[in-house]
Structure 1
């Protein structure tokens, strides 16, 4: 199989790249080369900015592919560019959408690929929906061989999966735990969530590559395991060897008080219970099964980050914001009880 990944070094795509390299796939990565250090042997790179359409077209003029996958497209205009570049040059075009495109709030907590697409809280999700609609139009009217992939919360060894964190990543929450400072959990922490390790996601994705039954289809790839946010934070604390000091805060309050896009990330995603039905994926990829439990995966992540200081990026602004939110709640409680 000859495949081209646009991107290929992110949380989701890096695991796919590694597994394909081990299988002997003829794999090309098209990116700007900023994170290509340590790529597996045999992976070939085409260094270019995908937005420089003329240059990319020239670099690819003598190539055709069995699969092209775009991991970094977020708006319809980017898919219009991909259609111009790859129509007639690939047997399958795979677009990475998002499970946050599903109806929010849900009318049924069990999500299938037939769940309506609608998210009034998050522009990111609405753009992904618009991308899907454009691609399906090209499939219906021109036979463009599209497969749409919807990941949910996928993580790897470099980032701790959290509900609330700052713009510099997840480390500051772990640091607060290590310092026995209170940690914010959105809502009451009992809503169900699905975490998928990127190595498991890669198994499902690779099973859909070159799969004739996946053409014209939308498929989500997630674990079957559902856990509460309280359980997730308890696992993180346990992996750090500390006792969790949790403060539960309304998602609406957090979104209203944050300068970051918590309205989209919380109200449009993580504050909602999600349980995925993976029957369609398992029908298309019969040997797919997610094998990394949440507690196992998070412990691996914690161990990796503790051993790699370069991933321990502090975020003093987020730390101060947490203190302010928690202090405001304590002040409000005292004023009511006076």
Structure 2
């Protein structure tokens, strides 16, 4: 009988999942991924078994996975609703040794009652649907573990990026404005603390923990130890783009009045400082050190976007809103 670990990814071409696929592709792992289709930005390595199915289509998933009765580990990168979790609990009960749900650090209460937050800190989500639904998914998995022993693990990344993503709500529009000599708007006074982690570093940690029995029934942060201010994040990106940043500070509420979708994210999440206690991660992986400081990651981002003019897309409505806010 083969001792090779058999791993299933639900998802495999997104920012987090593609980095994990790339990390596992060179290891002695039998990796299967399920996606709805390919992502040309992040191609799937040829040695990875790639099944195409809609994870929300029960019949399609049953057909796609019919040839494999058991996986050592299942990782769900694309679970965003408690119905997704309920379907997975039903499908994988008795068919996996460990089920890893990729949640988000945004489930923690804002503002945090105490800093830094650890895995036991208060969780709460109000009007921001993304963390609210992720928290409901976590609750469903915790019930399944405590009630029936379903081998759930909850992993909470913070803000993860790769070279294809400008980790600002304004995206490439911010950099385009700087290169045109125009300011970009930053919420608050720009000094609140934030966490950015390169997807390669996240993958390096997660893939080395898959199947680790110490995690079953537990939750875990995988975040960077680098503390960044929002002004610092903007500055690193501007300098990577070859310019000095022009920044205008406005309250989250003022920004929300001009750009409603952005206001929700800012007021419920981004304006609050969040510092993570990563001691649990470092106990599990004593040798782990994230290797990509954001100043280096910012250079990779700008280089990728500059590599093809078609990647440098801007939002005209957002651009106009920043003009009004900066006026």
For 2:115, the equivalent position in structure 1 comes to 109
Tell me the CA shift for residue 289 of structure 1. 1.4
Tell me the CA shift for residue 109 of structure 1. 2.6
Q: Alignment partner for residue 44 of structure 1, among 46, 49, 52?
A: 49
State the Cα RMSD in Å. 1.3
For 1:312, the equivalent position in structure 2 comes to 312
Look up the SS of the partner of 2:208 in the other structure: helix
Q: Alignment partner for residue 28 of structure 2, among 17, 24, 35?
A: 24
Is the 1:180–1:243 contact (alpha carbons within 8 Å) kept by the matching residues of 2?
no
Taking the TM superposition and a 5 Å limit, the aligned residue runs for 1:315-330 are 315-327=315-327
My pick for the range that moved more, 308-317 or 88-97, is: 308-317
| Cα distance between partner residues in 1 of 2:177 and 2:140 | 44
Tell me the CA shift for residue 61 of structure 1. 2.6
My pick for the range that moved more, 34-43 or 192-201, is: 34-43
Taking the TM superposition and a 5 Å limit, the aligned residue runs for 1:1-338 are 1-35=5-39, 38-63=43-68, 64-162=70-168, 164-165=169-170, 170-263=171-264, 265-327=265-327
| Cα distance between partner residues in 1 of 2:210 and 2:7 | 9
| Cα distance between partner residues in 1 of 2:93 and 2:263 | 37
For 1:336, the equivalent position in structure 2 comes to none
Is the 2:13–2:43 contact (alpha carbons within 8 Å) kept by the matching residues of 1?
no
Tell me the CA shift for residue 144 of structure 1. 0.6
Look up the SS of the partner of 1:204 in the other structure: helix
- How many residues get paired? 321
For 1:333, the equivalent position in structure 2 comes to none
| Cα distance between partner residues in 1 of 2:309 and 2:7 | 34
Look up the SS of the partner of 2:214 in the other structure: helix
| Cα distance between partner residues in 2 of 1:218 and 1:256 | 36
TM-score by length of 2: 0.95
| Cα distance between partner residues in 1 of 2:114 and 2:254 | 25
Is the 2:191–2:231 contact (alpha carbons within 8 Å) kept by the matching residues of 1?
yes
Tell me the CA shift for residue 285 of structure 1. 2.1
| Cα distance between partner residues in 1 of 2:227 and 2:27 | 31
| Cα distance between partner residues in 2 of 1:25 and 1:309 | 37
Look up the SS of the partner of 2:154 in the other structure: strand
| Cα distance between partner residues in 2 of 1:115 and 1:256 | 32
TM-score by length of 1: 0.92
Tell me the CA shift for residue 41 of structure 1. 2.4
Look up the SS of the partner of 1:8 in the other structure: coil
Ranges in structure 2 where 5+ consecutive residues have no aligned partner: none
Look up the SS of the partner of 1:219 in the other structure: strand
**1:252-289: CA deviations, max 9, x gaps?**
221233232431x2122211111111111111222221
| Cα distance between partner residues in 1 of 2:309 and 2:33 | 28
**1:95-121: CA deviations, max 9, x gaps?**
011100001111113110011111224
**1:35-70: CA deviations, max 9, x gaps?**
267211201111111111022113213311111111
Look up the SS of the partner of 1:305 in the other structure: helix
| Cα distance between partner residues in 1 of 2:107 and 2:130 | 9
